[in-house]
Amino acid sequence: MAALRYAGLDDTDSEDELPLGWEQRTTKDGWVYYANHTEEKTQWEHPKTGKRKRIAGDLPYGWEQETDENGQVYFVDHINKRTTYLDPRLAFTVDDNPTKPTNRQRYDGSTTAMEILQGRDFTGRVVVVTGANSGIGFETAKSFALHGAHVILACRNMSRANEAVSRILGEWHKAKVEAMTLDLALLRSVQHFAQAFKAKNVSLHVLVCNAAAFALPWSLTKDGLETTFQVNHLGHFYLVQLLQDVLCRSAPARVVVVSSESHRFTDINDSAGKLDFSRLSPSKNDYWAMLAYNRSKLCNILFSNELHRRLSPRGVTSNAVHPGNMLYSSLHRNWWVYTLLFTLARPFTKSMPTPLRLNCRIRSRKLT
pLDDT digits (tens, 9 = 90+) for 225-284: 999 999 999 999 999 999 999 999 999 999 999 998 765 657 776 767 787 878 888 999
Which whole-number Å values give the CA distances from 230 to 156, 245, 282, 296, 304, in the listed order? 14, 22, 12, 8, 16
Q: What is the three-class DSSP state of 26?
A: strand
CA–centroid distance for 52 within its chain? 33
Residue 339: which residues within 8 A CB-CB, separation 6 or more? 332, 333
Report the pLDDT averaged over residues 52-70. Answer: 79
Residue 304: which residues within 8 A CB-CB, separation 6 or more? 255, 257, 259, 318, 319, 320
Measure the CA–CA gap between 243 and 90, rounded to whole angstroms.
41
Residue 332, Cβ density class (10 Å: 0-12 exposed, 13-18 middle, ≥19 buried): middle
Give me the pLDDT at residue 324, please.
67
Residue 201: which residues within 8 A CB-CB, separation 6 or more? none
Query: Which has more confidence, 110 or 50?
Result: 50
The fold for domain 22-95 equals Ubiquitin Ligase Nedd4; Chain: W; (2.20.70)
Measure the CA–CA gap between 256 and 127, rounded to whole angstroms.
11
Same fold, 22-95 and 113-264+278-337: no
Q: What is the three-class DSSP state of 257?
A: strand
Closest CA to 342 of 356, 327, 354, 322: 327
Residues 295, 286 contacting (CB under 8 angstroms): no
Residues 44, 57 contacting (CB under 8 angstroms): no
Residue 75, beta-bridge partner list:
65, 84
Residue 79: which residues within 8 A CB-CB, separation 6 or more? 61, 62, 146, 171, 172
> What pLDDT band is residue 355 in, cutting at 50, 70 and 90?
very low
Give me the pLDDT at residue 7, please.
41
Residues 76, 83 contacting (CB under 8 angstroms): yes
> What pLDDT band is residue 366 in, cutting at 50, 70 and 90?
very low
Q: What is the CATH architecture of 113-264+278-337?
A: 3-Layer(aba) Sandwich (3.40)
293 labelled catalytic: yes
Residue of 238, 293, 328, 338 marked catalytic: 293
Report the range of poorest mean pLDDT among 2-6, 55-59, 175-179.
2-6
Pairing status of strand 32-36 against strand 93-95: unpaired
Give me the pLDDT at residue 2, please.
44
Q: Give the start-to-end residue ranges of the domains of the chain.
A: 22-95, 113-264+278-337
Question: What would the pLDDT profile of 163-220 be if each residue is shown by its tens digit?
Answer: 999 999 998 999 999 999 999 999 999 999 999 999 999 999 999 999 999 889 999 9
Strands ordered across the beta sheet of 32-36: 22-26, 32-36, 41-43
The 8-class DSSP code of residue 17 comes to P
